[in-house]
Amino acid sequence: GESVGLHLPTLSVQEGDNSIINCAYSNSASDYFIWYKQESGKGPQFIIDIRSNMDKRQGQRVTVLLNKTVKHLSLQIAATQPGDSAVYFCAENSNSGYALNFGKGTSLLVTP
Amino acid sequence: DGGITQSPKYLFRKEGQNVTLSCEQNLNHDAMYWYRQDPGQGLRLIYYSQIVNDFQKGDIAEGYSVSREKKESFPLTVTSAQKNPTAFYLCASSIGRVQPQHFGDGTRLSIL
């Protein structure tokens, strides 16, 4: 069945370094992918999305890469800051196109 | 400011009791969603609504009910049939399909 998973449950990086969070998906029919950041006790916050007709999309300090051949998604955060510490979720659209299927999340810890 | 408001932030349920979680949005979005999040887990879809007076079951709809009488509102009722209701409940909305979902800050439900 459909599944969205993450390679690493936790990631610790030093302030100023670049972070890479990886995600594998299994539904080759998915055409929309999205990354969220969730801080403790709050709802997920939209970071960036990408459609399946693109390989790369850049935002402010963030880049999402999509490799459809191996069904892999990654989020790159440049010059990671303490405020980036949070849990990051990838998600893909379901067959309906409306709901999202979420992975379990990766906890990013930024150390000084 | 436009956004999604969930209330209450914390809610306690007694055995055999139904409780209703409120979700209101002023983003003029057509689609709304309810997700459940358990500790250390991703989000799982309970129900979603594409448009007023229409809603669809998600992966874990048993023990829950919803209504969508107004575009702005999508309340979730956790019924006594839901035997394990303790979780963090998140409401979201989107303009339509294959669009980013924007989340509220959740309601944490516990059992007395």
Write the pLDDT tens digit of every residue in A24-78.
Answer: 988 888 999 999 999 999 999 999 999 999 999 999 999 999 999 999 999 999 9
Distances (CA, A) of B30 to A93, B52, B94: 17, 8, 7
Closest A-chain CA to B45 = A99
* Cβ pair A100:B48 closer than 8 A: no
Q: In the prediction, which pLDDT does B61 show?
A: 97
Per-residue pLDDT at A7 exceeds 50 = no
> How far apart, in whole angstroms, are the C-alpha atoms of residue B107 and residue B90?
7
- Kindly list the residues from chain B whose CB atom is less than 8 angstroms away from the CB atom of residue A91: 42-43
Contact list, A89 vs chain B (CB under 8 Å): 42-43
Question: Which of B89, B98, B109, B110 has the highest number of chain A CBs within 10 A, making it the mutation to test binding with A?
Answer: B98
With a CB-CB cutoff of 8 Å, which residues 32-71 of chain B face chain A? 33, 35, 40-45, 48, 50, 56, 58
What pLDDT, on the 0 to 100 scale, is given for residue A104?
87
